[in-house]
C-alpha cells in the first residue's frame, strides 16, 4: 500500500549557516559597533542578547532575513518576550520547533479526514503516516495540506508504493 509521512523538520545545518552569516553582518554594521551583541544556539534554542531592546529587534530582523534566504521557514520559530538581562542588557529567546507535537499531529489528522478521501492517517511519534490504496489519493492529500495555512511548516517525505 502506498504511504508517505507528514513531518515538520528544520535543517539545523542551514540554521547554523544563517547564524554565522548574521553574526558576521552584525559585527560589520556600524550601529552595532561597541555593543555587546551576540546570538547563541543551544539545543534548538536561540538566545539573542544586546544592549537594549531596539538592538535585539534589529538582530532578530537580520537573523530572520538570513534564515529566509536559506529556505528555513520562519513558522518553525517561536519568539519569547524581550526581557532584561544582567548589566542592563536585553535578551530574547527563540525556540526552533522540530517535529509535530501531539496536538499539531491530531490537527493534521483532522484536516486529512475533512478531505473525505479513502486514506488512513495515523500519528507516529512526531509525524503522521498516511496510507491509501491509490497513489492519487495520497497526492490529493498533499495538495489539500499545502492549500491550508498551518502554523508549522509541513514536509512530505518517505513516499512509498
**Residue pLDDT, tens place only, 63-77:** 999 999 999 999 999
* Torsion angle (degrees, nearest 10) of CA 56, 61, 67, 69: -150
Q: Which domains are delineated in the chain? A: 3-8+100-160 (3.30.70.860), 12-96 (3.30.70.990)
Q: What is the pLDDT along the chain (161 residues), one digit of tens a residue?
A: 899 999 999 999 999 999 999 999 999 989 888 888 899 999 899 999 999 889 999 999 999 999 999 999 999 999 999 998 888 899 999 999 998 999 999 999 999 999 999 999 999 988 999 999 999 999 999 999 999 888 889 999 988 88
Q: What digits encode the pLDDT tens for the residues 2-18?
A: 999 999 999 999 999 99
Output the DSSP codes for 66-131.
Answer: HHHHTT--GGGEEE---EE-GGG-EEEEEEEP-S--HHHHHHHHHHHHHTT-SEEEEEETTEEEEE
15 CB burial (10 A radius; 0-12, 13-18, 19+): buried
Q: What is the pLDDT of residue 85?
A: 81
Q: What is the pTM of this model?
A: 0.85
Q: What is the pLDDT of residue 149?
A: 87
Q: What is the DSSP letter of 46?
A: E
Q: What is the pLDDT of residue 125?
A: 85
Coil vs helix vs strand at 37: coil
Q: What share of the chain is helix, strand, coil (3-state, %, to 5)?
A: 45, 30, 30
Amino acid at each position: 500500500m502506498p504511504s508517505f509521512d507528514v513531518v515538520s523538520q528544520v535543517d539545523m545545518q542551514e540554521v547554523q549557516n544563517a547564524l554565522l552569516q548574521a553574526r558576521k553582518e552584525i559585527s560589520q554594521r556600524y550601529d552595532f559597533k561597541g555593543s555587546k551583541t551576540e546570538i547563541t544556539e543551544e539545543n534548538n534554542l536561540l538566545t539573542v542578547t544586546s544592549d537594549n531592546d531596539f538592538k535585539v529587534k534589529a538582530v532578530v530582523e537580520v537573523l530572520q532575513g538570513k534564515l529566509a534566504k536559506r529556505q528555513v521557514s520562519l513558522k518553525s520559530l517561536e519568539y519569547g518576550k524581550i526581557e532584561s538581562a544582567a548589566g542592563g542588557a536585553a535578551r530574547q529567546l527563540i525556540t526552533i520547533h522540530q517535529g509535530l507535537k501531539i496536538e499539531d499531529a491530531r490537527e493534521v489528522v483532522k484536516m486529512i479526514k475533512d478531505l473525505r478521501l479513502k486514506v488512513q492517517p495515523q500519528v507516529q511519534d512526531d509525524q503522521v503516516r498516511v496510507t491509501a490504496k491509490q497513489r492519487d489519493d495520497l497526492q490529493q492529500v498533499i495538495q489539500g495540506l499545502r492549500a491550508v495555512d498551518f502554523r508549522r511548516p509541513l514536509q512530505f517525505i518517505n513516499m512509498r508504493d
